[in-house]
Amino acid sequence: MTLHATHRSLPQIAASQELVSPIDRISRGSFLRMVGLSALGALYGPGPRGEVERESTSSRSLMELQRDLHPVLERLQRNTIDYFIQNRRDGLVLDQFPVANWPYSSMAATGFGLSSYVIGVERGVLSRARAVELVDETLRTIETRPTLRHRGWFTHFVDVSEPGRPLAVRESGRPEKPTAEYSSVDTALFFLAALPVATYFGAERDIEGRIERLLQEVDFPLMLHQQGAGDTRLFSHGFYLDEHGHERFIPSRWDTCSEGILVSFLSLADQHPSVSPGVWDAWSRKYEQLPLFVRYYPHCFVDLRDCVDRSGLNLWGLAEQEVVHQVRYCEENGFPAGLFGVTACAFAYKGPSGSDQYGYFVPAFQGPREPRVVGPHAIVSCIPFSPGPAYRSLHHLSRHGWLESDFGPINSVNFDDALVHRGVTAIDVGSALLMLDAASARCIHTLSAGNARIQAALINCGFTRGPSSFSQR
C-alpha cells in the first residue's frame, strides 16, 4: 500500500447550497505565540521563539494537565455523541460536517455511530430506549436496501441526496455512476464497531441476531480474489461492479501493518472461519511510519494491552513507539515544540492563487517537502497509550482554541498556511470517542471481552498476554 500527500479537492456535488466555511485564518499574533520562529521558517520572518509557552507547558505535571483538560475532554465526548445522533439520514451517518458539498454517508462512520450510542447510554447522554431506536433504524436501512451490500460487503459511501444509491468516489473526487466501491476495510470497521453493540443490546429488537445475520452474509474468500498480482492470502481493498454485475477488484491488497489488518481480524472472528488463519500472518511486519490513525484503530474495539500475536507483534507497543517517532519527526521538521498528530485528515490550504482550498492530506513523512498539518482528533486518540505527549499537545491546541468544534475534535491545523479546518470527519471523531472510552470507562473493551466472535478472532490470530519478542525496526 502506497500512501502519499495529496491536495485532492472535494467535489462540489451540491453547488447550489451555501456552505458555512469551517476554515479559520489564524491571526499572526496567535500563530507566532504558538509555534515560534523555528516552525515558521520563511513564512513570517523573524519573531519570538515561543519559549515562555513551551516552558509553561513542559514544566506542568501530567496530573495538572489532566485536571485542566478533563472538562474539555468531557465536552468532546458529549459533542461527538451528539454528532452521531444529529447527523444521520435514514440511520446512515454523514461522513463529514459541514456537508453541503459532500452529501455522503459512510458505512464505517455508521458503525462508529452504533458504538457511540452505547457510550452515550453509559454516560447518561441518551436513554437506552432512544439508543435502541437509533440502532434499529440503522439496521433496518441496511437490511432493506440491497444496493448497500454485495455478497455481504458494504459500500464505502452512500449518496444521501438520493437515498440508498451508492456511488464510487475515486482519487479524482468525482462520483462514478451507477457503480459503487465495495470496501473491505469499511465493512470491517462497521462490524467491529457493531459487535460490542450486539452484546450490549442482545435480544432487544433482535439487535444481536440481526447483526449476526448480516455478518454471516460476508463472503470473506471473495475478497481473497485470484485476479491480478499479489499474495492471495492478502485481502483486496475492495471491488466495483461492472455493467453486468461482476466484481472488478481494486489492484491493491492490505499487505502492511495498517488499518487493513482489521479485515484479516474480522475474517477470523468465527470458531470455524471460512478462510485460513494464515491471512493474519500474511501481511508484512516490517515497520513503516504511517499516518497515526492506523496505529490506534485496532485499539478502538478490543483491549490489546500487553498482548502479542503469534509473530510476537505487540500492537499496543507499536502505537506507543509511533508517538515517539512522531514527536521526533515533528521536532526535526519545525512543528510547534512537543506537538505531534500527523495523520490522514481533511485540511485547508492555500491554492495557487492564494485562495483558501479544501483537500485531503495523507502524509508520506518526507519532511519539509510536505505541509505541516496535525489532526487534533488523532492526538486525542493517543491518550490511552501515550498520555504524557498527548496531554501536552492537547494543552497547546486547547489554549489557542484549535481543538474543539460543536461536534467533537476538529479536522486539522495547517501550520504552513496558518489555517484551521474546524469541520469534522465522522470516522475521526468516532475513533477519538472510542479511544477516550478506552482510556477511562472501557465500556467497548469490556463488551468486546464478552463477545464470542471477537474472542474467537483473538484466538485465531494467536494473541496471548506477554512481552513482545518482535523487533519493530
Q: Which domains does the chain have, with CATH numbers?
A: 23-465 (1.50.10.140)
Of 105, 50, 29, 150, nearest to 418 (Cα)? 29
For the record, the C-alpha cell of 236 comes out as: 483486496
pLDDT at 48: 26
- Cell numbers 474468500: residue: 221
Hey, which bits of 107-216 come out as E strands? 149-150, 153-154, 157-159, 168-169, 175-176, 181-183
Tens-digit pLDDT profile for residues 8-23: 333 322 322 333 457 7
- pLDDT of 401 strictly over 70: yes
Helix, strand, or coil (residue 124): coil
Of 453, 449, 462, 472, nearest to 280 (Cα)? 462
Share of the chain above pLDDT 70, in %: 84
Q: Report the distance separating Cα 453 and Cα 218, nearest Å.
A: 14
pLDDT at 227: 76
- pLDDT of 304 strictly over 50: yes
159 and 166 Cβ atoms separated by less than 8 Å = yes
- Cell numbers 509553561: residue: 56
347 and 384 Cβ atoms separated by less than 8 Å = no
Confidence band of 130 (pLDDT split at 50, 70, 90):
very high
Q: Across-strand partners of 159?
A: 104, 165
Tens-digit pLDDT profile for residues 169-194: 765 556 666 578 999 999 999 999 99
Q: Across-strand partners of 409?
A: 404
Q: How much is the average pLDDT of 226-233?
A: 81
Q: How much is the average pLDDT of 66-70?
A: 95
Of 275, 154, 148, nearest to 220 (Cα)? 275
Q: Across-strand partners of 153?
A: 150
Task: Tell me the HSE value of 355 on the side-chain side, using a 13 A CA sphere.
Answer: 6
Q: Report the distance separating Cα 258 and Cα 292, nearest Å.
A: 10
Of 473, 460, 435, 469, nearest to 220 (Cα)? 460
- pLDDT of 448 strictly over 80: yes
Confidence band of 213 (pLDDT split at 50, 70, 90):
very high
Rounded alpha-carbon distances, angstroms, from residue 13 to 169, 202, 400, 462: 12, 39, 33, 46
For the record, the C-alpha cell of 19 comes out as: 456552505
234 and 254 Cβ atoms separated by less than 8 Å = yes
Share of the chain above pLDDT 90, in %: 74
Helix and strand numbers, DSSP H then E, in the chain: 16, 23
306 and 449 Cβ atoms separated by less than 8 Å = no
Question: CA-CA-CA-CA torsion for 361, 362, 366, 369, nearest 10 degrees?
Answer: -20
Task: Give me the chain's average pLDDT, please.
Answer: 87
Find all residues with CB under 8 Å of 134, minimum gap 6, and list them. 85, 88, 91, 113, 117
Q: Across-strand partners of 88?
A: 93
Confidence band of 466 (pLDDT split at 50, 70, 90):
low
* DSSP single-letter state for residue 443: H
